[in-house]
Chains A and B, each alone.
Chain A
Amino acid sequence: QITLKESGPTLVKPTQTLTLTCTFSGFSLFTTDVGVGWIRQPPGKALEWLALISWDDDKRYSPSLSSRLTITKGTSKNQVVLTMANMHPVDSATYFCAHTTRGAYGDFVDDFWGQGTLVTVSS
């Protein structure tokens, strides 16, 4: 059974760096064709993809946020860490991590999602 859970601060101040951890079970990030992605959703708004790290340590970032994002495998084998620098109030959102599987056609599918964690940016 694949499960994922996001953790991190619920409140950050403007200009601070946000660090979120995705802790997962039921799969290995060292298995071919497996990845972990991050997606966020401001209250009442649409999903927005942020980043993905795959089993071979390939990293992909949203072009509009790439200068602020870093995704890494955690020191623990069942964790992925996302950092977002220079947080603004507009970055307030629920942040989800997801297990992703690469299909035969090369794209990744977000097939299992965590429950999400709400982050508010305010002074």
Chain B
Amino acid sequence: SYELTQPPSVSVSPGQTASITCSGDNLVDKYVCWYQQKPGQSPVLVIHQDSKRPSGIPERFSGSSSGNTATLTISGTQAMDEADYYCQTWDRRTEIFGGGTKLTVL
């Protein structure tokens, strides 16, 4: 079965750039979404179709994909961005989520 691999944790200083990766076989051939989940809350879509931001998502969130890796980049990271982030894709009619990355802003 298809798998997406994320680092368990990433740390960033306020105002700096955070990068969260998501790896999967030939991931460049699929579209990737990214979800942000804060403690006790439901996930929120922050990136779809690799790099598109839904309405209302700040411009500091961006996405890219190349080869086997998709990347969520948060520029000028703020304390409010501290959360769990999940990548997601589809494979053969099955929705796949990555294991999640805890972003710490310190």
A residues contacting B by CB (< 8 A) are: 37, 39, 46-49, 52, 60, 62-64, 96, 103, 105, 107-111, 113-116
Contact = CB atoms under 8 A, between A and B. Distances in A.
Interface stretch (B43-51, B65-73, B75-83): B43-51
A105 B49 contact: yes
A78 to B, nearest CB: 19
A62 B2 CA distance: 12
Main SS of the interface on chain B? strand
- Band of interface residues on B: 20 to 34
Interface of B: 1, 30-31, 33, 35, 37, 42-45, 48-49, 54, 86, 88-90, 93-100
B33 A109 contact: yes
A103 B45 contact: no
A113 B96 CA distance: 17
Nearest to A104: B49
Contact of A60 (B43, B44, B93): B93
A105 B95 contact: no
B35 A108 contact: no
A108 B31 contact: no
Contacts of A52: 95
B93 to A, nearest CB: 5
Contact of A63 (B1, B37, B89, B100): B1
B97 A109 contact: no
Given A48-B97, A49-B94, A63-B1, A110 B43 contact: yes
A114 B48 CA distance: 19
Contacts of B31: 103, 105, 107
Contacts of B93: 60
Contacts of A37: 95
